[in-house]
């Protein structure tokens, strides 16, 4: 049950990052379609990503994620971000495939064999075939696994082929990144210049006054000031994609007084039936908002209302309905017993035809006879366990772990297996049958034994009835019908006490609107090609809310409009005006004491490094630092920085002793470049220059 389990876990790299570089390499081969039509989800440098191809990849990744996390389903948010990751990786794959094809990079069959079981083992293989106890890599286990490949079940063979594909893709990625990182050269003259700059320090007397210390009431500005700043800094407000702005209101669907009364009466009726019901589990599954959970819980995990009754109570006791956070709960104590937190075991699996192991050929009777024989032998001589596990176990990991399962938490194994180990005495040799076949088990440890409780809980939330929900819908409909422009929309929301919220700067693939758990339907509405500013949406029913939105702005790709960035412009202009105010305060003053008195600050003696370009607690100030290193000893001046106005008197510029051997510095600088390559800088650059058409907002 374990080497292939590890491989499946490691195959998470198929949707993550292999090594430290290009995420695209690890998605596996992407189907490439040449057909054109409405299924076109996007296009990258002329190559289509069809809806079918994309959905196939997404479904595979969702299934893997559920397997990896143990979840039965993913939330809408989790699914969305998995789609985002899949899209990015598919785009990257197409882009990088073009580069790889140009360069002729590949992995030969001999090279792949060398990576899997040769003298140059790939880290992913080493990780999966290393003995967890000794830390020793088991090359013979890899070879045995491959030699017995045809005997493995189809899913295991498929997982291994995908695993090999990941290794191959990872190796190609490594070659590509190595090729780029090794192509970087740092001339000695630049190394020497870097060392010299890094050794320079300016010793200065410094006074600084932060813009934020000046109240807004002391400065003023005009609309013309804002427009001038916008004109001079227009490049700062450039967007790579269209943005849209909305404002929205929400009608929260809350239970009425009538709903509460009816739910309370219903809960009391359920409790009376609960007291008489013989099949408790079926009753819970029929009546509760949550299915029956057979887990044994320690006292610390029980709600206080249950712990108060059940810790000193007896099996069969009930807790009558109580209300907690808008949910009614009632419970019955099904069992209580001393149980360990975790157990340690090893096993030999004997599968049979018809079990969950499709490769098994023996009959169930033959499997049972073999399991009985093994149990007898091991009861007499437990030391033979590893030997017999290697020879007979059908667990694919047996050759690696020799039947060892290790410590596992109570309830985390298959129920039949867990129960058998729970009941057994440490040192016993016993059997359990699961969907995989017969297990011959030896348990040699149990930890954290304490009293635990199995409880049947019925939960019934107080929710709005259909009638109440319809009342809220009527309110929302009336609002939408009577308020068809921004002015009336805003005024009516205020009159009704509705909280009108704004959400500026949405792009097509935004997946967040405050207070709305699943906002994609609203965002798709906002980005409809026929949508115009001032349009009011249909009523969106999302979770327990009715939502109405109004489109308040469309910002096309390119430069953001003046009105769109006006709030930001005001902040910037305020900063400039405050800087002017501070400079005017010290105009004509050339004495540190006089300036300190005027500003209400104290002078500091500081040293500033040329390379780091940081000033005291104010952080990076490259323009000011550059000016300082252009001053002469004894000279003083005032400078405008990004956060403050500075008065500086230069005492001296000095240099620390530089290292004699610059080879170490050179290696570090070249290493810095290589790190940028490995941290995906190349992929980001390739994406930036690629022609990418993204139509996902039309589908999701």
User: What is the CATH number for 484?
Assistant: 3.10.50
Mean pLDDT on 547-562:
91
Q: Residue 330 — left, alpha, or beta (φ > 0 → left; ψ -120 to 50 → alpha)? A: beta
pLDDT tens per residue, range 322-356: 999 999 999 999 999 999 989 999 999 999 988 88
Looking at the predicted structure, is the pLDDT value of residue 700 above 60? Answer: yes
**Pair 261, 284 in one domain:** yes
Give strand ranges (E) for 477-625: 501-506, 540-542, 545-555, 558-559, 604-609, 614-615, 619-620
**Pair 171, 123 in one domain:** yes
pLDDT tens per residue, range 120-135: 888 888 888 877 667 7
Looking at the predicted structure, is the pLDDT value of residue 317 above 60? Answer: yes
Looking at the predicted structure, is the pLDDT value of residue 16 above 70? Answer: no
**Cβ atoms of 201 and 608 closer than 8 Å:** yes
Asked if residue 684 is part of any domain, the answer here is: no
Task: Give CA 627 to chain center in angstroms.
Answer: 44
What's phi and psi for 440, nearest 5 deg? -95, 120
Mean pLDDT on 636-656:
89
Asked if residue 666 is part of any domain, the answer here is: no
Confidence of residue 39 (pLDDT cuts 50, 70, 90): low
pLDDT tens per residue, range 220-238: 999 999 999 999 999 988 8
Joined tokens for residue 203: 């010793």
Q: What is the pLDDT of residue 323?
A: 96
Question: 648, 609, 607: which is closest to 196 by C-alpha?
Answer: 609
Least confident of 176-180, 266-270, 342-346, 547-551: 176-180
Give the structural domain span for 408.
342-447
**Cβ atoms of 326 and 462 closer than 8 Å:** yes
For the whole prediction, is pTM greater than 0.75? Answer: no
Asked if residue 660 is part of any domain, the answer here is: no
**Pair 538, 620 in one domain:** no
Confidence of residue 693 (pLDDT cuts 50, 70, 90): confident
Q: What is the pLDDT of residue 132?
A: 63
b/e for 515-546, b at 16 or more Cβ within 10 A?
ebeebbebbebbbeeeeeeebbbebbbbebbb
Looking at the predicted structure, is the pLDDT value of residue 2 above 60? Answer: no
Looking at the predicted structure, is the pLDDT value of residue 699 above 70? Answer: yes
Q: What angle do CA 567, 570, 576 make, to 5 degrees?
A: 150
Question: 369, 372, 374, 376: which is closest to 386 by C-alpha?
Answer: 374
Looking at the predicted structure, is the pLDDT value of residue 567 above 80? Answer: yes
Asked if residue 491 is part of any domain, the answer here is: yes
Q: What is the pLDDT of residue 38?
A: 44
Looking at the predicted structure, is the pLDDT value of residue 494 above 80? Answer: yes
Q: What is the pLDDT of residue 119?
A: 85
Asked if residue 678 is part of any domain, the answer here is: no
Q: Residue 310 — left, alpha, or beta (φ > 0 → left; ψ -120 to 50 → alpha)? A: alpha
**Pair 70, 174 in one domain:** yes
Mean pLDDT on 287-295:
92
Joined tokens for residue 228: 């001038």
Q: What is the pLDDT of residue 659?
A: 67
Least confident of 35-49, 156-170, 183-197, 361-375: 35-49
**Pair 42, 128 in one domain:** yes
Q: What is the pLDDT of residue 142?
A: 84
**Pair 220, 273 in one domain:** no
State the Cα–Cα distance between residues 490 and 247, nearest whole angstrom: 9
Domain boundary among 537, 556, 575: 556
Asked if residue 680 is part of any domain, the answer here is: no
**Pair 68, 81 in one domain:** yes
Number of compact structural domains in the chain? 5
Asked if residue 49 is part of any domain, the answer here is: yes
CATH at residue 405: 3.10.50.40
Considering the chain, what is the average pLDDT of its residues?
A: 86
State the Cα–Cα distance between residues 643 and 641, nearest whole angstrom: 6
Residues in CB range of 103: below 8 A, 6 or more apart: 176, 179
How many CB atoms neighbour CB 407 within 10 A?
A: 13
Q: What is the pLDDT of residue 334?
A: 96
Confidence of residue 282 (pLDDT cuts 50, 70, 90): very high
Joined tokens for residue 338: 């001393």
Q: Is 232 or 35 the better-scoring residue by pLDDT?
A: 232
Mean pLDDT on 269-290:
95
Looking at the predicted structure, is the pLDDT value of residue 501 above 60? Answer: yes
Confidence of residue 564 (pLDDT cuts 50, 70, 90): confident
Mean pLDDT on 33-43:
57
**Pair 417, 533 in one domain:** no
Asked if residue 145 is part of any domain, the answer here is: yes
**Pair 582, 495 in one domain:** no
What's phi and psi for 655, nearest 5 deg? -120, 135
**Pair 361, 397 in one domain:** yes
**Pair 605, 515 in one domain:** no
Q: What is the pLDDT of residue 77?
A: 80
Q: What is the pLDDT of residue 3?
A: 43
pLDDT tens per residue, range 424-445: 999 999 999 999 999 999 998 9
Task: Give CA 263 to chain center in angstroms.
Answer: 39
pLDDT tens per residue, range 101-123: 888 988 888 988 888 888 888 88
**Pair 44, 165 in one domain:** yes
Confidence of residue 89 (pLDDT cuts 50, 70, 90): confident
Confidence of residue 25 (pLDDT cuts 50, 70, 90): very low
């Amino acid at each position: 049950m374990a080497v292939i389990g590890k491989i499946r876990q490691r195959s998470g790299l198929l949707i993550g990052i292999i090594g430290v570089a290009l995420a695209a390499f690890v998605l596996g081969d992407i189907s490439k379609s040449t057909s054109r039509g409405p299924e076109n989800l996007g296009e990258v440098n002329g190559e289509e990503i069809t809806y079918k191809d994309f959905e196939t990849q997404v479904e595979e990744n969702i299934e893997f994620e559920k397997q990896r996390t143990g979840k039965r389903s993913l939330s809408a948010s989790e699914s969305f971000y998995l789609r985002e990751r899949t899209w990015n990786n598919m785009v990257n794959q197409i882009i990088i495939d073009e580069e790889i094809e140009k360069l002729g990079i590949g992995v030969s069959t001999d090279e792949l064999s060398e990576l899997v079981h040769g003298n140059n083992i790939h880290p992913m293989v080493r990780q999966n075939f290393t003995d967890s106890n000794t830390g020793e890599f088991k090359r013979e286990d890899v070879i045995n696994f491959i030699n017995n490949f045809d005997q493995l079940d189809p899913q295991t063979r498929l997982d291994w082929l995908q695993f090999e594909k990941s290794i191959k893709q990872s190796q190609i990625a490594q070659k590509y990144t190595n090729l780029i990182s090794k192509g970087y050269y740092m001339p000695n003259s630049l190394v020497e210049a870097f060392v010299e700059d890094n050794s320079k320090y300016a010793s200065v007397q410094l006074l600084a006054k932060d813009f934020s210390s000046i109240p807004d009431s002391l400065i003023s500005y005009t609309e013309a000031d804002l427009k001038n700043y916008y004109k001079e800094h227009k490049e700062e407000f450039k967007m790579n994609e269209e943005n849209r702005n909305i404002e929205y209101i929400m009608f929260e669907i809350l239970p009425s007084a009538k709903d509460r009364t009816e739910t309370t009466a219903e809960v009391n009726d359920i409790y009376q039936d609960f007291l008489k019901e013989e099949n408790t589990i079926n009753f819970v599954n029929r009546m509760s908002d949550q299915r029956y959970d057979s887990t044994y819980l320690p006292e610390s995990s029980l709600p206080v209302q249950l712990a108060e009754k059940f810790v000193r109570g007896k099996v069969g006791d009930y807790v009558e309905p109580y209300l907690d956070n808008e949910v009614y709960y009632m419970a019955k104590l099904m069992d209580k017993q001393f149980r360990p937190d975790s157990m340690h075991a090893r096993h030999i699996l004997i599968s049979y035809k018809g079990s969950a192991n499709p490769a098994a050929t023996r009959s169930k009777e033959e499997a049972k006879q073999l399991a009985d024989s093994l149990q007898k032998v091991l009861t007499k001589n437990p030391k033979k366990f590893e030997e017999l596990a290697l020879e007979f176990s059908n667990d694919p990991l047996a050759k690696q772990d020799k039947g060892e399962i290790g410590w596992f938490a109570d309830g985390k194994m298959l129920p039949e297996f867990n129960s058998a180990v729970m009941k057994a005495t440490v040192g016993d040799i016993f059997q359990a049958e699961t969907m995989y076949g017969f297990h011959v088990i030896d348990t040699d440890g149990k930890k954290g034994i304490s009293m635990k409780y199995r409880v049947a809980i019925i939960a019934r939330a107080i929710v709005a009835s259909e009638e109440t929900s319809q009342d809220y819908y009527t309110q929302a409909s009336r609002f939408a019908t009577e308020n068809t422009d921004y002015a009336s929309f805003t005024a009516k929301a205020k009159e009704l006490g509705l909280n009108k919220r704004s959400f500026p700067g949405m792009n097509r693939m935004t997946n967040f609107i405050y207070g709305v758990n699943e906002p994609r339907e609203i965002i798709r509405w906002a980005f409809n090609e026929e949508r115009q500013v001032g349009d009011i949406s249909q009523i969106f029913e999302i979770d327990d809310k009715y939502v109405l939105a109004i489109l308040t702005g469309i910002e096309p790709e390119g430069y953001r409009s003046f009105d769109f960035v006006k709030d930001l412009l005001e902040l910037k202009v305020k900063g400039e005006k405050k800087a002017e105010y501070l400079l005017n305060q010290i105009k004509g003053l050339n004495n540190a004491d006089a300036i300190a008195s005027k500003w209400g600050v104290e002078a500091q003696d500081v040293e500033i490094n040329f390379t780091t370009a940081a000033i005291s607690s104010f952080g990076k100030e490259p323009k000011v630092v550059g000016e300082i290193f252009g001053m002469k000893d004894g000279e003083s001046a005032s400078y405008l920085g990004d956060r403050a106005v500075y008065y500086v008197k230069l005492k001296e510029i000095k240099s620390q002793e530089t290292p004699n051997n610059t080879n170490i510095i050179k290696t570090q600088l070249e290493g810095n470049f290589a790190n940028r390559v490995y941290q995906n800088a190349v992929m980001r650059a390739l994406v930036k220059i690629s022609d990418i058409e993204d139509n996902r907002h039309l589908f999701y």
